Chains A and B, each alone.
Chain A
Amino acid sequence: MSLAYRTGRSLRRTLVQAVPTILGIVILCFLLLQLMPGDVADVLAGESGAATEETLAAIRSRAGLDDPILLQLGRYLWRVAQLDLGYSTRFGTPVSQLILERLPNTLVLMLAALGLALGLGIIAGSVMAIHAGRWPDRVLQVVVLFFYSTPGFWIGLMAIVLFSVKLGWLPSGGSMTIGIAPTGLDFLRDRLPYLVLPALAMASFFIAVYARLTRATMLEVLQQDYIRTAVAKGLSPLVIRMRHALRNALIPVTTVAGMHLGNLLGGAVVVETVFSWPGMGRLALEAVTGRDFNVLLGVLLLSSMLVILTNAAVDLLQAWIDPRTDLS
């Protein structure tokens, strides 16, 4: 089968699976948020100091909060279908605008963290597998266990102490230098230092996950008959390890990478708070404390869609690595 054909099939399958999932997520989130005590009207009234019952009722009816739940759900679904995520009663702006402002930052952070986790994890895992039982394996195993057992946000905080406070190498928060608007290469040079620590904090746990997985699968693959054949053919160890062992070991790694995306993105809430990174995670936290359901729903929905989209990309990657994927 040609690559283009496989790509097309993979995309179609993703689309067929994605639509019910998105629908299910919208309904789930909507039902969950119905269970929440207090609504936007209460919060606004509390903040302005006092409000009469009439004002409360007016706010509620303006936001459509006193309609039957099914009607509210139907209205929400209809609006989501039109890509309208509602109006934030707290921020006074459309939710989609609020989220779109924050989306690029979270996307950059997520992709950086995913790349870092996969890259470092696979490298560490293959080094461990190749040197299994010897000192590089032992040392890396301790490091990996540490990352596997430590909250990423704490690693981030400790990294701030070391790299920002003591050494002064990297900024401790924010996403860019305020007051300058560089372009081209200068833009990257300004932004990258801000990205390093948050991406590391977000990735730390997943570096360990992928390293453990790569080590285990690669050890298994190295015992296969075709590896012995490759050795007998006289191929160089490097070719055997990279082309024969690693490539096959990557298949379960990419599958698991797709499964962990939701957890990876969830970590953004804490990491963005630690590094004052202006992304969706912090928006979600602000929405929770402000009881702004539309915003929370929007963040939940959009981050789920982000997971689905990235999953599709991982699927494509897998179809490229392993031509057999579609036949099963």
Chain B
Amino acid sequence: MSLDNFWRRHRTLRAALRNLSFTAGILILASVVLVALSAPWLFPGDPLDMVGMPALWPGEDPAFPLGTDSLGRDVAAGLAHGARVSLLVGVSAAGIGLLIGTAIGAAAGYSGGWVDDLLVRVTELFQTVPAFLLVIVLVSIREPSAPAIAVAIGVASWPTVARLVRAQFRSLRSADFVAAALVSGARPSRIILRHILPNALPPIVVTTSVMVANAILTEAGLSFLNLGDPNLVSWGSMIGDGRQLLRTAWYLTALPGAAIALTVMSINLAGDGLNDVLNPRSGSH
């Protein structure tokens, strides 16, 4: 049948294209990071300050290439400063989620028995609760601030990681090199950290990109609902503000949304490329 042939013929071509999209993802992500880092120099001053005529369309006034919002705030400045919040919250939330998920997944997968049963139950419980509702509850516990939001998103997003890590640990626990380490008298903490975890890393690394992407989307939703940090401009809050002028000045909603889409897309492209390199046998290709 021609299917096998088809695969063989196109493998190199596909690999090159894959590489192309991976490179594109990295390049876009790098420019977003660059804009985020240089925002204080590119757009000095508070992006929440009113600086011009309200509701200027992009291109209407050369001083504000991307226009101004209903209060006369510079949209370009908002986007640049918003990139800082989105990336920072996204990365730290993913970090917190990874930490919790890895710890719980490792404990469950390594211990087995009742510890495993209990932790699986807890994981299922957190997976059943609608994640976004949980984030909202957690954020409203304190005054909303960027760190609190990162913690909340991290706490609501760990179950995926925990399931993954648990599966990895369960299969690696019965591997020969783990048995050898056990026989040679290594302590469990050493076995977990030095022997199993490094081997379980590739899928965890790939999940990181998905976690960051989803954390950015969640943060956008939160600040869209006005539950974000009121002292910081973020892409989500810009969409929320722009929504009031949706009928007349839809660019106020479109631009920050496009920024989110572009950033998250670049992270996903990079993650897919990473997946192909780290997990060549996975089903995604």
Q: Does B183 contact A (CB under 8 A)?
A: no
| Bound Cα distance from A267 to B218, whole angstroms | 9
Chain B residues bordering chain A, tally (CB within 8 A): 52
Q: Is the CB of B246 within 8 A of A157?
A: yes
Q: Which of chain B's residues has its CB closest to A24's CB? A: B125
Question: Given the interface contacts A145-B268, A146-B265, A269-B136, does A35 sit within 8 Å of B257 by beta carbon?
Answer: no
Question: Given the interface contacts A269-B132, A270-B224, does A149 sit within 8 Å of B268 by beta carbon?
Answer: yes
Q: Does A89 contact B (CB under 8 A)?
A: no
Stretch at the interface among A54-62, A178-186, A296-304: A296-304
Q: Does A238 contact B (CB under 8 A)?
A: no
Within 8 A of B (CB), among A125-171: 132-133, 145-146, 148-151, 153-154, 157-158, 160-161, 165
Q: Which residues of A contact B1 (CB under 8 A)?
A: 228, 231
Q: Which residues of B contact A148 (CB under 8 A)?
A: 265, 268
Q: Which of chain A's residues has its CB closest to B254's CB? A: A158
Nearest-Cβ distance from residue B106 to partner chain A, whole angstroms:
21
Q: Does B53 contact A (CB under 8 A)?
A: no
Question: Given the interface contacts A20-B121, A149-B264, A303-B133, does A308 sit within 8 Å of B128 by beta carbon?
Answer: yes
Q: Which residues of A contact B136 (CB under 8 A)?
A: 269, 284-285, 288
Stretch at the interface among A4-12, A71-79, A218-226, A317-325: A218-226
Q: Does A217 contact B (CB under 8 A)?
A: yes
Q: Which residues of B contact A268 (CB under 8 A)?
A: 130
Q: Is the CB of B128 within 8 A of A154?
A: no
Q: Is the CB of B283 within 8 A of A270?
A: no
Q: Which residues of A contact B250 (CB under 8 A)?
A: 158, 161, 165
Question: Given the interface contacts A32-B137, A296-B137, does A151 sit within 8 Å of B130 by beta carbon?
Answer: no
Q: Is the CB of A151 within 8 A of B125?
A: no
Q: Does B234 contact A (CB under 8 A)?
A: no
Within 8 A of A (CB), among B105-126: 121-122, 124-125
Question: Given the interface contacts A154-B239, A228-B1, A269-B133, does A21 sit within 8 Å of B284 by beta carbon?
Answer: no
Nearest-Cβ distance from residue A69 to partner chain B, whole angstroms:
16
Q: Does B37 contact A (CB under 8 A)?
A: no
Please give 9 more A-B residue pairs, beta carbons under 8 A apart, in addition to A165-B250, A307-B128. A20-B121, A150-B264, A151-B260, A262-B129, A266-B130, A266-B131, A270-B225, A274-B243, A285-B136
Nearest-Cβ distance from residue A107 to partner chain B, whole angstroms:
14
A-B pairs with beta carbons under 8 Å apart, 17 shown? A36-B141, A149-B268, A151-B257, A154-B261, A165-B246, A219-B283, A220-B283, A262-B128, A262-B130, A263-B130, A263-B131, A267-B132, A300-B133, A300-B134, A303-B133, A304-B130, A307-B128
| Bound Cα distance from A145 to B272, whole angstroms | 11
B4, B6, B124, B137: most-surrounded residue (chain A CB, <10 A): B137
Q: Does B172 contact A (CB under 8 A)?
A: no
The 8 closest A-B pairs by CB, nearest first: A266-B132, A266-B130, A154-B257, A149-B265, A149-B264, A216-B283, A150-B261, A265-B130
| A contact residues vs B (CB 8 Å cutoff) | 17, 20-21, 24-25, 28-29, 32-33, 35-37, 132-133, 145-146, 148-151, 153-154, 157-158, 160-161, 165, 205, 212, 216-217, 219-220, 222-223, 228, 231, 259, 262-263, 265-270, 273-274, 284-285, 288, 296, 299-300, 303-304, 307-308, 311
| Bound Cα distance from A265 to B136, whole angstroms | 13
Q: Is the CB of A21 within 8 A of B128?
A: yes
Report whether over half of chain B's contact residues are helix, strand or loop; otherwise say mixed: helix
Report whether over half of chain A's contact residues are helix, strand or loop; otherwise say mixed: helix
Q: Which residues of B contact A35 (CB under 8 A)?
A: 141
Nearest-Cβ distance from residue B83 to partner chain A, whole angstroms:
15
Q: Which of chain B's residues has its CB closest to A267's CB? A: B132
Nearest-Cβ distance from residue B165 to partner chain A, whole angstroms:
16
Q: Which residues of B contact A150 (CB under 8 A)?
A: 257, 260-261, 264-265
Q: Is the CB of B6 within 8 A of A133?
A: yes
Q: Which residues of A contact B10 (CB under 8 A)?
A: 133
Q: Which of chain A's residues has its CB closest to B221's CB? A: A270
Q: Which residues of B contact A20 (CB under 8 A)?
A: 121
| Bound Cα distance from A25 to B97, whole angstroms | 20
Q: Is the CB of B253 within 8 A of A154?
A: yes
| Bound Cα distance from A32 to B4, whole angstroms | 55
Q: Does B3 contact A (CB under 8 A)?
A: yes
Which of B142, B269, B283 lies in contact with A145, CB distance below 8 A? B269
Q: Which residues of A contact B142 (CB under 8 A)?
A: 37
Nearest-Cβ distance from residue B97 to partner chain A, whole angstroms:
14
Q: Which of chain A's residues has its CB closest to B122's CB? A: A24
Over the window 9-51 of chain B, the binary record of Cβ atoms lying under 8 Å from chain A Cβ atoms (1 yes, 0 no) is: 0100110000000000000000000000000000000000000
